[in-house]
Each structure stands twice: as structure tokens, then as C-alpha cells.
Amino acid sequence: MELSTVWFVLIAVLWSGYFVLEGFDFGVGALFPVLGRDRGGLDGQTRRRVMLSTIGPVWDGNEVWLITAGGAMFAAFPHWYATMFSGFYIPLFLILVALIVRALGFDYRGKIDDPVWRRRWDRCIFWGSVVPAVLWGVLFTNIVRGVPINDEMEYTGGFLDLFNPVALLGGLMMLGLFVTHGAMFLALKTDGAVRADARTVAVRSGLMSIVLAAAWLGILQAHTGSLSSYILAGAAALFLIVSVPLARRGFEGLAFTGTLATIALAVASLFVAIFPDVMPSSSHPAYSLTVHNASSTDYTLTVMSWVAAIFIPVVLLYTAFTYWTFRRRVSGHHIPTDASQQNDSLTAER
């Protein structure tokens, strides 16, 4: 197997890892208005603190996968990186702003003991989770369906061209899938009233996500799919369908594994569908960026391969250790009642 193909597979794995891990982060933030209200004997502030405590130790580590995926694209496929990040500049800039705002919300919502202050930062966390989820769905849909690229590997379309009906469907599907993934995670990581409500939301959003995902994957696979990508897409849909009744019956671990597998397989099916292209051109197939014409030199890929072989296992071990360390469930009685302790609790969890 050529090194360019190996790195295409590795980049697909990195993006899958990012969406699997950051997906439930986005889902938890997007569920603030739904699960963060006074209910089940807990006030909204306590419920939101419970929700934040589940992702407090891991959310920033999950974003490392995005940095790694972007860095790998830049080094292994510079033409792909240049075309994608220039053509999708505004949506990617909006994603970056949303991620920054969300991070500020995590760090600053507890700095002042004031309900209005916390409510404003909670809105930042919500929008900082929803906006990237939708935009990632829009962008990856466009990558698979193809965008206008000329013979100089330059994107020739406009900003609004990215928001076509199929891409918007992809954005809604991604948001729905992340909300389901986040609800499954909360059901797995919390106890008491939040756990029960998260399980209910997971079932309801899961049913909606099944419809959206089936339509989205069906359209994309019909457009560019191969037999292998059809199999992966079908497996992704099957895992999502199975995870809903598992969540309803209280098997949160299996249900969360189901949505995890759904996201990983769905992303994999997209990369398999476009291979050997990395960014298909809707202007003319000859202008498409492929693993051959968009890659770096063999020397660069060889050096990168040695670096990846050394450091990727370290990152995986550290990630596994973090999740194992913070594996216990969180409930309302774990949240400190003293305001000064609340201000520092999220930072301490990290």
C-alpha cells in the first residue's frame, strides 16, 4: 500500500476519532436548554453543573483530535488542506469562533456567583456546541458531493453555494446525531433525575436521527458510493437503530457504544465513498484532488509515519487513562452547595 493511501486512512481515523469524542461534548452542550431546567427535585443550576462535570475532565483533550487531523492534512496532503481551508474559510472561521466561545463558557461561567452571569455563559456553551455540529455536517457533505474546483486546485464557488439543501440536511443530521450521542453519554455518566431524563431524550432524538441519517447517507451513497461504503453506511444505520431500544431498556453502556460505532462507521463510509479522491470536483472529474496529486513527497510521508508510530500510541494511552480515571457517575449530591466551591469545581475536575 502506498504511503499516501496509508495517510488517507490515518486522516480518516483521526476525523472519526474527533467526531466520536467531540460529538458527545457538542451533544451535552446542545442539551443545556432541555436537560438544564428545574426538574426532578433539582434546580437548573445544579443540573447544568452535573452535565458539565461529565465532560469537564475530557472536553479539551477531545479537541486535540481536531488539531491532529488538521495538522496531518497539512503535512500529508498540502493541496487538500489549502483548497479546503481556503474554500471553506468562512465556515471554518465560524467553527473556530464557536469553539473559542464555548471554551470561555466552560472556564468563566463559575467565576462570578451571579445567575445572570452564568446564564449568559450557558448560552455561549449552547451556541458554541450547536454551530460547529451543524457546520461540520454541512462541510463534510459538500466534500463528499463535490465542490467547484478548477484545474489549479482552487475552489471557485461562493459561500452560499455550500449551504445547498443536501448540505443543510447533513448539518441537521450531524446535530441530531451528536445530541443523541450526548444524551447517551449523559445517561451513562450521571445518576438520578438527570440520568432518567437523558435516557428519555436519547430515545426521542435517536428516532429522529435515524430518519435524518438514513436520508443523508442514502443520498450521499447514491451519489458517490461504492460497495464498501454501502456496507459501512448500512452498518452505521444498524448500530443507530439498535442503540435506541437499548437506551430505553437502561443499557446505557451498550447504547453509547452503538452511537459511537454509528458515528465512526458513518465517517468511514464517507472517506471510502470518495477514495481515491480526497476532494472531488463538481466542475470536472479531472480537476478532483486525489491521494496522488494532493499528497506530499514520499520522504515527507516516511518521516511523518515514523513520528506517528511513536506518538499516536502515547496519545491513545493518555486518552484511555483519562476516561478510565473519570469513569464514575455524577449526580446532584456531588455538586458543592457553597458558591466559592462551585466557582472552582469545573477547573478542579479537569
Cα 93 to Cα 104: distance, rounded to the nearest angstrom: 17
Q: Where are the domains of the chain?
A: 22-342
Is residue 96 within 8 Å of 83, Cβ to Cβ? no
Neighbours of 341 (CB within 10 A): 12
191 confidence band (pLDDT: 50, 70, 90): confident
pLDDT score of 60:
84
The DSSP string of 54-98 is HHTTTHHHHTHHHHHHHHHHHHH-HHHHHHHHHHTHHHHHHHHHH
Cα 320 to Cα 312: distance, rounded to the nearest angstrom: 12
Cα 55 to Cα 23: distance, rounded to the nearest angstrom: 11
The DSSP string of 259-305 is HHHHHHHHHHHHHHHHTTEEE-BSS-GGG-EETTTS---HHHHHHHH
In the predicted model, what is the mean pLDDT of residues 114-134? 93
In the predicted model, what is the mean pLDDT of residues 143-157? 89
| pLDDT averaged over every residue in the chain | 88
333 confidence band (pLDDT: 50, 70, 90): low
Q: What angle do CA 121, 349, 250 make, to 5 degrees?
A: 90
pLDDT score of 332:
61
- Read off the pTM: 0.89
- Tens-digit pLDDT profile for residues 161-180: 899 999 999 999 999 999 99
Q: What nine digits make up the cell of 164?
A: 445547498
Choose among 348, 349, 345, 337: nearest CA to 110.
Answer: 345
